[in-house]
Structure 1
Amino acid sequence: MKAAPDQRLDVLRGSAPRVHHNARTLAALENNPRCMLRAVLDASGSDKAAIAAHAGYPSPFGQSSFAIVRGNTFEAMVKANGCAELLRVLRETLQLTLPEVGYQDLNDVGGDGRPETRHARTAHLLTGAAQGRGSDTLYDHPMLRLTVGGHPVFLEPDLVAFRIGDRFHIVEIKSFPIVDGQADPAQVRAATTQACAYIIALRAMLAEADVGPEAVSDTIVLVAPKDFTNRPTGAFVDARKQVATLTRQLARIERIADLVDLLPEGLTFDLAADDTGRPRRPAQELAEALDQVPATYRPDCLNHCEMAFYCRSRARAESSLDVLGTEVREHLGGIDTATMALGLARGTLTPDDDQVEMAIALRHAARLRTELLESGDAR
């Protein structure tokens, strides 16, 4: 008789305490939704950073203290004096017509800063606003909640949720600059994906009061420094695609039983830590356990997943084309490994019917390469 999914997940995690999600880790789910290893580790609440480090592939993740201080300072400036600078950005930069503004600080409730208390207050105020009760427009530090893998996750955003007309919007305040109307695409994507977790959580909260998802806009407002000054500016960012992708990935975690059933009975990523927290499990044994779960590596995993260096090493060992990126993988459709590509290029492998055209192209590329190398040697 098979164990229940929750029991299997507990066995996978082992003796380590469950690692709780936050908006940043939820946002990371959107980046590689096909990876089974990540889905299983996240659903079980396993400590990916500790597992990767013990397997011999530590990850250099984490914000610098300077970046954290800079971000907190900019956010405080934007929100100072009842969000005066934020209102200026919304009215002047984004050309939004706002009525008289009602401001609610939900950072604590009568001195009670517990997540449960703050979430209850947030739900009361925002649900009331969605149903036409109350006149507040700005909600600072709302406490949202999502259920991920059967466990509640509180999201304490560094954002303001505001209501214009009949819709809530999410404001994401970041300290990277918007220069001449442009910002670093990777940073914008990361900020947008993080905001998606808040959009989904806010919609889930309102759904409990029978308020439809259309009450929460999937266009976020990004507020960041203008050029290289500390003066805030803003931009609208369409988050529809990322909201849909993250929603599907969260649903996949809820259906984790389907994935767990594919794993060997008794499989565990337990590090068997001693009283000091030092892992006692042999690293090779842990690596063998990890190898039993399919992983889908992409180069951009290095930006957001603690397991990326382990998965890259595994993909290289398997000669997987994944290490070369999605573009190359799609261009070489029907070819799974670098070994196969080289064999077709050199003529040592016979292509099947679906690989004939690609084999011709690879052989042509190989001839051109040989000619270039020979002409270089001749010089």
Structure 2
Amino acid sequence: MSSYPAGGPPQRTPQTTTLRQRLADLRGLAVPPRPLDARALAALAANPGCGRRALLDGAGVDKTALAQALGSPAPFGQSQFAIVRGNSFEAKVKGDGGAELLRLVHERLGAGAEPPGPAVPVPDLTAAGPEGRAARTALALREATAAGTWTLLDHPMLALEVAGTPAYLEPDAVVVHPDGRWTVVEIKSFPMIDGSADAAKVGAAARQAAVYVLALERTAEKLPGSTVGQQVVLVCPKDFSNLPTAALVDVRRERAVTRRQLERLTRVEDLAAALPEGTCFDPARPAEELTEAVSAVTAAYAPECLAACELAFHCRERARDADEVTALGRSLRGELGGLTTVESALAAASGAGCAEDPIAAALHQAARLRAEALTLVPAPTSPEAAACPC
């Protein structure tokens, strides 16, 4: 039986081959591509104006190694303890052919459906390369939907086009319901205490799961009779034990935001075409050459990047050197309008800005009111009062 759905394997056009060669040249011919994952796409969607991240992620550049070579390493990544704990918990959840996992899914989403039997199909999704695995996953989804039975897909491979290039994503699991619904399952090792978990961690999991839902919808568009659930099943340890429990997370809002942001991304081929000939981001190259190559791609730095991008420290240093107001935050940048540098903003506050500019006039008025308020503050009457931090 063929491992590809109807139509055969994905076809490569001359344009696709040329783009892949160009991206390989940018990455370095001896450097293997670093695949995009859902976490990277969620972070990329949060900053769609950053051409630097879009190009480097699209080319498969290892940004951690690149930041190290540039002299601005970032402390990113999970600890080995957290990785081992997460893998152990996932193996426990999926033990016995995924019986416990399917029980939790049926308990949360299986109202009106027959409970999963003792021997639920778990298709073999192995294939050559990510393209082959994605095709094999699509075929398994088609067969499970047509069969109308509970089916568990363990680490399926999904494809999603991002900025003109395919990204291959691997969710923890996808469950096919007897009625043709597909549900994304996220397994996390942080605890769910009294039925609720840390809001920040749940939000990050929801944004990551929304990327999987988008990719799964692309596959569902080609398979009539199938639908993708907008609620994902989040499986976590219960309280302080290692027993799994589950909760439903509605990702409709995160999905809509992620889809809108990904559609706004500049296409990778446009970014690559604008670069000087010979540009390469191979971390083995000299730091001066890498700095010049990275500077050739426009960035959109904001303090939020520090929690999501390996190059954030390098970009922050360059933003500060260029006196950009984006280094102070996106909200401030939006309020300052055409005042793009800290120097121009300070000049407007001092009254040297254009009087016809309403933003400059408002900034000057705010500075004047602040100065007047400070003059009304009484001077300290004793050394103790002067030393008081309040």
* TM tier relative to shorter chain: 0.7 to 0.9
**What does 1:222-371 align with in structure 2 at a 5 Å threshold?**
222-248=234-260, 250-251=262-263, 255-261=267-273, 263-266=274-277, 268-271=279-282, 279-281=284-286, 283-355=287-359, 356-369=361-374
Q: Following the alignment from structure 2 to structure 1, what is the Cα–Cα distance between the partners of residues 275 and 136? A: 44
Q: Following the alignment from structure 1 to structure 2, what is the Cα–Cα distance between the partners of residues 142 and 5? A: 26
**Secondary structure at 2:185 match in 1:** strand
Partner of 2:8: none
Distance change in 2, residues 1:177/1:317 (3 Å): same
Q: Following the alignment from structure 2 to structure 1, what is the Cα–Cα distance between the partners of residues 224 and 203? A: 31
Partner of 1:104: 121
**Secondary structure at 1:104 match in 2:** coil
**Secondary structure at 2:91 match in 1:** helix
Distance change in 2, residues 1:234/1:321 (3 Å): farther
> Is 1:78–2:86 an aligned residue pair?
no
Q: Following the alignment from structure 2 to structure 1, what is the Cα–Cα distance between the partners of residues 371 and 37? A: 48
**Secondary structure at 1:257 match in 2:** helix
Letter in 1 for 2:294: L
Output the aligned Cα RMSD: 3.3
2:173 pairs with one of 154, 159, 175 = 159
Q: Following the alignment from structure 2 to structure 1, what is the Cα–Cα distance between the partners of residues 374 and 33? A: 52
> Is 1:28–2:43 an aligned residue pair?
yes
Deviations 1:64-92 (A, max 9, x none): 11101111122222222343433453455
**Secondary structure at 1:342 match in 2:** helix
Using the TM superposition, name which of 19-28 and 368-377 deviates more.
368-377
2:62 pairs with one of 47, 56, 77 = 47
**Secondary structure at 2:76 match in 1:** coil
**What does 1:93-172 align with in structure 2 at a 5 Å threshold?**
96-101=111-116, 103-106=120-123, 108=125, 118-130=133-145, 132-148=146-162, 152-163=166-177, 165-172=179-186
Query: Percent of aligned positions with the same letter in both sequences?
Result: 45
Q: Following the alignment from structure 2 to structure 1, what is the Cα–Cα distance between the partners of residues 367 and 310? A: 35
Equivalent residues, number: 364
Partner of 1:276: none
Letter in 2 for 1:301: C
- Distance apart, 1:28 and its partner CA: 2.8
Q: Following the alignment from structure 2 to structure 1, what is the Cα–Cα distance between the partners of residues 379 and 338? A: 31
- Distance apart, 1:216 and its partner CA: 0.7
Maintained 8 Å contact 1:94/1:235: no
> Is 1:64–2:71 an aligned residue pair?
no
> Is 1:221–2:233 an aligned residue pair?
yes
Maintained 8 Å contact 1:18/1:45: yes
**Secondary structure at 1:188 match in 2:** helix
In structure 1, the gaps of 5 or more residues are: 274-278
Distance change in 2, residues 1:6/1:94 (3 Å): closer
**Secondary structure at 1:28 match in 2:** helix
Q: Following the alignment from structure 1 to structure 2, what is the Cα–Cα distance between the partners of residues 235 and 125? A: 26
Q: Following the alignment from structure 2 to structure 1, what is the Cα–Cα distance between the partners of residues 110 and 367? A: 54
In structure 2, the gaps of 5 or more residues are: 1-17
Q: Following the alignment from structure 2 to structure 1, what is the Cα–Cα distance between the partners of residues 171 and 343? A: 47
Partner of 1:201: 215
Distance change in 2, residues 1:351/1:156 (3 Å): same
Letter in 1 for 2:309: C
Distance change in 2, residues 1:373/1:217 (3 Å): farther
- Distance apart, 1:166 and its partner CA: 4.0
TM-score of the superposed pair, with normalisation by structure 2: 0.79
Using the TM superposition, name which of 21-30 and 146-155 deviates more.
146-155
1:185 pairs with one of 181, 185, 199 = 199
Q: Following the alignment from structure 1 to structure 2, what is the Cα–Cα distance between the partners of residues 301 and 181? A: 31
Maintained 8 Å contact 1:106/1:121: no
Q: Following the alignment from structure 2 to structure 1, what is the Cα–Cα distance between the partners of residues 239 and 355? A: 54
Letter in 2 for 1:296: A
Distance change in 2, residues 1:21/1:92 (3 Å): closer
TM-score of the superposed pair, with normalisation by structure 1: 0.81
